[in-house]
Amino acid sequence: MLSFCIVAAIAVSVIIGYKTGFNTGFFAIIFAYFIGSFAMDMSPKEIINGWPVSTMFVIFSVSLFYNFALVNGTLEKTARYLLYMFRRFPGLLPFALYLASAGIAALGAGFFTVMAFMAPLSLLICEESNMDKLTGAVSINCGALSGANFMTSGSGIIFRGLMDESGYADVSFRYSAAIFTASVIFSLLFIVLFRFGTKNGRCIPQNASFEKPEPFTPLQIKNVYLMILMIGTVLIFPILHILFPTADWITFINSKMDVGLAAILFSAAALFMKLAPQKEVLARVPWNTIIMICGVGMLIQVAVSAGTIDLLAAWAGSSLPVWLIPIAFSIVSAVMSFFSSTLGVVCPALFPLVPALSGAVGIPPLILFSCIVIGAQSSAISPFSSGGSLIMGACTTDEERSHMFPRLLFQAVPMSVIFATLFNLVLSVIL
Compute the distance between CA of residue 343 and CA of residue 141 in angstroms, rounded to an integer.
15
| Between residues 181 and 126, the one the model is more confident about | 181
Residues 6+ apart with CB under 8 A from 258: none
Structure letter (DSSP) for residue 242: H
Strand residues in 243-350 grouped as ranges (E): none
Share of the chain above pLDDT 90, in %: 26
Amino acid letter for position 330 = S
Provide the mean pLDDT of the chain. 85
The mean per-residue pLDDT over the stretch 412-430 comes to 91
pTM here is 0.79
pLDDT digits (tens, 9 = 90+) for 154-199: 788 889 888 988 889 888 889 999 999 999 999 999 999 888 877 7
Q: What is the pLDDT of residue 202?
A: 64
The mean per-residue pLDDT over the stretch 252-271 comes to 89
Task: Please determine, for residue 301, whether its predicted confidence score (pLDDT) is greater than 60.
Answer: yes
> How large is the greatest C-alpha to C-alpha distance in the chain, in angstroms?
67
DSSP SS3 for 396? coil
Q: Which of 27-36, 49-58, 71-80, 332-341 has the highest mean pLDDT?
A: 27-36
**Sorting pLDDT into bands at 50, 70 and 90, what band is 339?**
low
CB of 361 within 8 A of CB of 406? no
Least confident interval from 47-51, 142-146, 348-352, 385-389 = 385-389
Task: Please determine, for residue 208, whether its predicted confidence score (pLDDT) is greater than 60.
Answer: no
pLDDT digits (tens, 9 = 90+) for 375-388: 999 988 888 777 88
Cα separations in angstroms, 129 against 54, 98, 195, 205, 206: 45, 16, 15, 6, 7
Q: What is the pLDDT of residue 240?
A: 86
Share of the chain above pLDDT 70, in %: 95
Q: What is the pLDDT of residue 33?
A: 94
